[in-house]
Amino acid sequence: MTSSPRPTLALPWWVRGDTNAAFGLGFNVLVNVLVLTGLAAGVVNIPQHDVFHVILPALGIELLIGNVYYTYLARRLARREGRTNVAAMPYGPSVPHMFIVTFVIMLPTYLSTKDPIRAWQAGLAWAFIIGLIVLLGAFVGPYVRRWTPRAALLGTLAGVSIAFISMRPAGQMWEAGWIALPVLTIILIGFFTNLKLPGNIPVGLAALLVGSAIGWIGGFMSVPDVAAAAHDVAIGLPSFRLDLLVSGLGHIGPLLSTAIPLGIYNFTEGMTNVESASAAGDSYNLRSVLLADGIGAIVGSALGSPFPPAVYIGHPGWKEAGGRTTYSMASGIAIALLCFLGMFGLLGALLPTPAIVPILLYIGLLIGAQAFQAVPRAHAAAVVIAIIPNVASWAQGQMANVLSAVGYTTVNNAPGATLVPPSGTTPGSVPESALVNAGVIYHGLALLGGGAILAGLILGAIVAFLIDRDFVQAAIYCLAGSLLSFVGLIHGEKVGWNVGGQIALGYLLAVPSSAASSRCVRCHPGSPARMSARARSRPCSLSARRTDRHDRAGVRAGHRGAVPVAVRRGAAAVGHRRAVY
- Report the pLDDT value the prediction gives residue 520, as an integer from 0 to 100: 64
Give the whole-number percent of the chain exceeding pLDDT 70.
86
Identify the pLDDT of residue 258: 61
> What is the pLDDT at residue 447?
93
User: Lowest-confidence range among 36-40, 115-119, 178-182, 491-495?
Assistant: 491-495
Per-residue pLDDT at 222: 87
CB of 321 within 8 A of CB of 85? Answer: no
Q: Give residue 412's Cα distance to chain centre.
A: 31
Write 407-410 long-range contacts (CB < 8 A, 24+).
none
- Render pLDDT for 534-569 as a digit per residue (tens, 0 to 9): 333 333 333 333 333 433 343 333 333 333 333 333
**Is residue 485 over pLDDT 70?**
yes
Q: Model confidence at 579, in pLDDT bands (50, 70, 90)?
A: very low
Q: Measuring CA to CA, which residue among 103, 111, 418, 132 is closest to residue 252?
A: 132
- The total number of residues shown for the chain amounts to 581
Max mean pLDDT among 15-19, 103-107, 543-547 falls in 15-19
What local confidence, expressed as pLDDT, does residue 79 receive? 92
How many Cβ atoms from other residues are within 10 Å of residue 405's Cβ?
Answer: 8
Q: Does the structure show a pLDDT above 60 at 84?
A: yes
| C-alpha distance from residue 396 to each of 389, 445, 458, 572 (Å) | 10, 6, 20, 43
* DSSP class of 351: S
Considering 257-261, 353-357, 359-363, 462-466, the range whose residues carry the highest mean pLDDT is 462-466
Average confidence (pLDDT) over 23-50? 87
Instruction: Give the residue among 93, 128, 88, 78 at the shortest CA–CA distance from 339.
Output: 93
9 pLDDT exceeds 80? no
Q: Stretch 90-98: mean pLDDT, rounded?
A: 83
DSSP 125-140: HHHHHHHHHHHHHHHH
Instruction: Write out pLDDT tens, residues 152-168.
Output: 988 988 898 888 888 88
Q: Which pLDDT value is given to residue 192?
A: 83
Average pLDDT over every residue of 59-83: 93
Residue 529 pLDDT grade (very low, low, confident, very high; cuts 50, 70, 90):
very low
Closest C-alpha among 153, 156, 149 to residue 474: 149
**Residues 6 or more apart in contact with residue 475 via CB below 8 angstroms:** 510, 511, 512, 514, 515, 518
List, for residues 170-221, the tens digit of each pLDDT value.
999 999 999 999 999 998 988 888 777 787 788 888 998 999 999 999 999 9
- Highest-confidence segment of 136-150, 304-318, 384-398, 564-578: 384-398
How many Cβ atoms from other residues are within 10 Å of residue 87's Cβ? 29
Residue 273 has pLDDT above 80, yes or no: yes
**pLDDT per residue over 274-292, tens digit each?**
888 998 899 999 899 989 9
pLDDT at 581: 32
Report the pLDDT value the prediction gives residue 5, as an integer from 0 to 100.
52
Q: What average pLDDT does the structure give for the chain?
A: 82
**Measured distance CA(289)–CA(277) in Å, rounded:** 12
Distance linking the first and last C-alpha atoms of the chain: 40
SS3 of residue 434 by DSSP: helix
Q: What are the C-alpha distances in Å from 564 to residues 331, 544, 581?
A: 36, 22, 8
pLDDT of residue 568: 37
Please write the tens of the pLDDT for every residue from 299-356: 999 999 999 888 887 888 889 888 999 999 999 999 999 999 888 888 888 989 899 8
- The 10s digit of each residue's pLDDT in 215-233 is 999 999 988 888 888 877 7
Predicted confidence band of residue 481 (pLDDT cuts 50, 70, 90): very high
pLDDT band, very low/low/confident/very high, at 580 (cuts 50, 70, 90): very low
Q: What percent of the chain has pLDDT over 90?
A: 36
Q: Residue by residue, what is the 3-state secondary structure of 509-568?
A: HHHHHHHHHHHHCCCCCCCCCCCCHHHHCCCCCHHHHHHCHHHHHHHHHHHHCCCCHHHH
